[in-house]
Chain A
Amino acid sequence: MANEFNQLARKMANVDRLIHEPARLMIMTILSVVDEADFLYLQRETELTRGNLSSHLAKLEEAGYIHIEKTYREKIPLTLCSLTNSGREAFTAYRNQLKHFVQNDENHS
C-alpha cells in the first residue's frame, strides 16, 4: 500500500506546473467559471500587481491556455481573457489529478 502511495506521489510530480503556480491557478480557476473576464476584474480578484498579472497572463497565452482580446463593451475599452478549449481541458485534467491524489491520500490515512 505504501508503494502504491509512493507511486501516486511521484505522479504528482508530473502535474501541470504552468497551472500549479498559485497565481496562475487563481487565474485559471476564475476563467473556468466565466465566459470571459477583463484585466481589471482578474487583478482585483487575484490581488496581483498589474505587471505580475500581465506576466502570468502572457505565460498562459503562450501555452495556448487562454485567449486575450482587446475590445470594447458599451464603448468601454477592455482587455478580455477567456480559456481556450485546450486550456479548459488542461484545467480539468489538473483538477482530476489533484482530486485523485487527495482521495487516495484520504484512503491511505
Chain B
Amino acid sequence: MKDEFNKTRQRTLQYWFNDGLTEIAFGILCLVMSLYFFALKVTPERSLLSNLLNAGLSLVIIGGTLLSRQLILVTKARLTYRRTGYIAFPQKRSGRWVSALLAMGIAALVAFLIAQEPGSLVWLPAITGIIIAFAMLIFGLRTGLLRLFLIGILSLLIGGALSLVGIGDILGLSAYYGALALVLGLSGACTLHAYLYDTRAEEPRNGE
C-alpha cells in the first residue's frame, strides 16, 4: 500500500512538469542569467554599470525565480487548468526559507569567486553545472521523469566542457546558461506540444 501511496504522490508531483511550462520558465530564467553575465563581461570594469551588475546578482536570481513562478501560474491558468485540472501543494514555510537561503548562498559564492583571481574562475561553469545537475537529480527522483535526469546530465556535460576548453569565468557562465536555456526551452517546448496534442480544454459545467 505504501508503494501505491508513493506512486500517487509521484503522479501529483509530475503535475508541475506535465505541460513543459516549468522547463520553459526555467529556460527563460537561464536566458536572463546568460544575458546578465554577458553584460557583466562586456561592461568596463569599475564602471557604474559594472558595480550595479555585480551588486545585483542576488536580485536577478531571486527576482527572476519569483517572476518565473508567476509566469508559470498565469500560463497554467490559460492552458493547464482547463485541460488537466488544478492542484495546489502544501507550502512549507521552512522550505521557502531554505530555498531562498540556498539561492542567496549560491549567489554570494559566485559573487565571491568573481571578485577573486581570474584563475579560479575557470571552473565556474563546471561548478554551476554540478549544482544544477544535483537539483535536476532531486526533481527527477521525486517525479520519476526521465527527461529531468537527461537535463541534469547535459548540465554536467555543458559545464564541464566549457571549463575544460578554458572558456571559464564570466563568459563561460554566460555560455553555460545560454546553452542550458536552449536545452530547457527545447525540452519544455516538446513537452508542451505533446501535452496540447494529447489533451483538450474542458468547459466547466454547472454543479461541478
Genuine A/B complex: yes
* Contact sample, A vs B, 28 pairs, CB 8 Å cutoff: A29-B8, A33-B9, A33-B12, A34-B12, A34-B87, A34-B90, A36-B87, A36-B88, A37-B88, A38-B81, A38-B85, A40-B82, A40-B85, A40-B202, A41-B15, A41-B85, A74-B73, A74-B74, A75-B77, A76-B77, A76-B81, A78-B81, A78-B86, A78-B204, A79-B208, A95-B1, A99-B1, A99-B2
6 closest cross-chain pairs (CB), A and B: A41-B85, A74-B77, A40-B85, A38-B86, A35-B88, A37-B87
**Contacting residues, chain A, for B207 (C-beta < 8 A):** 54
Contacts of B5 in A (CB 8 A): 29, 95
B91 within 8 A of A: yes
Contact A41 B90 (CB under 8 A): no
The residues of B with any CB-CB pair to A shorter than 8 Å are 1-2, 4-5, 8-9, 11-12, 15, 73-74, 76-78, 81-82, 84-91, 202, 204-205, 207-208
A30 contacts across to B, CB distance below 8 A: 8, 12
| B4 neighbours in A (Cβ, 8 Å) | 29
B9 contacts across to A, CB distance below 8 A: 33
Partner of A54, one of B1, B84, B208: B208
A102 within 8 A of B: yes
Chain B residues with CB below 8 A from A36, complex form: 87-88
Number of A interface residues at 8 Å Cβ cutoff, please give it.
Answer: 30
Q: Please state if B208 and A34 are interface contacts (CB–CB under 8 Å).
A: no
Task: Give the complex CA separation of A38 and B194 in angstroms.
Answer: 23
Using Cβ atoms and an 8 Å threshold, which residues of chain A touch B204? 77-79
- Residues on B with C-beta less than 8 A from A35 are 87-91
Residues of B within 8 A of A108 (CB): none
**How distant is the Cα of A46 from the Cα of B2 in the complex, in angstroms?**
18
CB distance from A71 to the nearest CB of B (A): 10
**How far is B85's CA from A76's CA once the two chains are assembled, in angstroms?**
11
B2: chain A residues at CB < 8 Å are 99
In the complex, whether A21 has a CB less than 8 A from a CB of chain B is no
* CB closest residue in chain B, given A43: B85
**A45 within 8 A of partner (CB):** yes
Instruction: State the Cβ distance, B142 to closest chain A Cβ, in Å.
Output: 12
Distance in Å: Cβ of A32 to nearest Cβ of chain B:
8
Cβ of A17 within 8 Å of any chain B Cβ, yes or no, is no
B205 touches A50 (CB 8 A): yes
- Residues in A whose Cβ lies below 8 Å from that of B82: 40, 76
Q: Bound state CA distance, A29 and B6, in angstroms?
A: 10
Does chain B have a CB within 8 A of A42? Answer: yes
Q: Are A44 and B84 in contact (CB under 8 A)?
A: yes
Chain A neighbourhood of B12, CB < 8 A: 30, 33-34
CB distance from A33 to the nearest CB of B (A): 5
Cα separation A61 to B90 with both chains bound (whole Å) = 21
A41→B82 CA distance, assembly (Å):
9
